[in-house]
Amino acid sequence: MATTKQVDTPRFTREQLLPNQSRIKRSLTALCRWVDTGSSVDNGAQKQDAIDWVRAVPFVALHLACFGVIWVGASTIAVVVAALLYAIRMFALTGFYHRYFSHRTFRTSRAVQGVFALIGASCVQRGPLWWAAHHRNHHRHADTALDPHSPGIYGFLWSHMGWFLTTRAFATDMARVPDLATYPELRWLDRYDTLVPIALAGSLYALGAWLHHVAPQWHTSGGQMVIWGFFISTIVLFHATVTINSLAHRYGRRRFETRDDSRNNLWLALLTFGEGWHNNHHFFPGSARQGFRWWEIDMTWYGLRLMAALGLIRDLKPVPAWVLARERK
């Protein structure tokens, strides 16, 4: 009688299976965090300061999507919408994410706070609590090894767009923002911040499709409006914003002696609505105005003054006289 030869199948121990299971778990968690930043993760086996490439996929995709302009073309209305969204969202970042949420340089109502937190979240630069917590940490440790985006220590690329893709930088340090964490709507927005840009992109597609139907002479479409109004506008907005991390600590004039390497730069100030007066800001971050002198163009300051005149915000903190007296000669 013929016998069947028994083939030995490989047997894996629990210890051998765990590394694969751990990698799968981390990958699935990273995918969940595309939408829910509160998803738990076991960071024990991860390098805290290494880029989480699974989570970085949407960031890379944002850049690649801009090449869609090759297929959708351009129209005046699409470019105008992109420029308007750049301006509105830059003001939300500089006036509210930075000067209000991070430094509390003026006061406003809960409703106005919520509206600009929502607009800020549409910038794809995370939620207001995350942004403020990291910025407060930056001021505490500026240009030291504890500053995650110091170009003098970590180089241009890392300070510009590497540091926030790491596991360490992903979490919101609530201990830094106890004053903001008391608002449940801000905590919700901080956790589900990606829902806002998704809604913006969907709205832009609907707008473009509607214009294509009612005003075909404008030569726009849903896809074109998304490419220009969302992807191109957002990428330009992002890289303009982070020049303050990467370039404003390397190039410009130092009016005040500070412990960091912050500098004033006119071109960056024009690009970022006043944030380029960075040495001014690091010397005295408690002012709602960053262009300390009348000739230092600060578009965000002008916008905040207008909002104050309309009664939307109040108690704008000025630049004290003693600060100007400390200027280097």
Per residue in 175-188, pLDDT tens?
999 999 999 999 99
Sequence-ordered list of residues with C-beta below 8 angstroms from that of 161, at least 6 positions apart, any chain: 59, 238, 239, 242
Residue among 132, 148, 137, 103 nearest 245 (CA): 148
Q: What is the pLDDT of residue 30?
A: 61
The percent of residues above 90 in pLDDT, for the chain, comes to 78
Q: Write the pLDDT tens digit of every residue in 278-319.
A: 999 999 999 999 999 999 999 999 999 999 999 999 999 999
Can you give the pLDDT at residue 200? 98
Write the pLDDT tens digit of every residue in 196-248. 999 999 999 999 999 999 999 999 999 999 999 999 999 999 999 999 999 99
Report for 4-13, 39-48, 160-169, 256-265: range of highest mean pLDDT: 256-265
CB 133 within 8 A of CB 17: no
Q: What is the full DSSP assignment across 280-300?
A: HHHH-TT-S-S--STTS--HH
Block residue for tokens 């909002």 = 307
Percent of the chain past pLDDT 70, that is, above it, reads 86
What is residue 11's predicted lDDT score, i.e. its pLDDT?
56
Q: Could you give the 3-state DSSP secondary structure of residue 251? A: coil
The pLDDT value recorded for residue 80 is: 98
pTM above 0.95, yes or no: no
**Residue 42 — pLDDT band, cuts 50, 70, 90?**
very low
In the predicted model, what is the mean pLDDT of residues 122-141?
96
Structure tokens given for 50: 């290494």
Residue 39 has pLDDT above 70, yes or no: no
pLDDT tens per residue across span 74-87: 999 999 999 999 99
> Which tokens belong to 125?
């630069």
304 alpha-carbon distance from chain centroid: 20
Residue 233, CA distances (Å) to 70, 84, 153 in order: 16, 9, 30
Give the closest residue to 168 by CA, choosing from 149, 186, 184, 181: 149
Q: What is the pLDDT of residue 255?
A: 95
Average pLDDT over all residues of the chain: 90
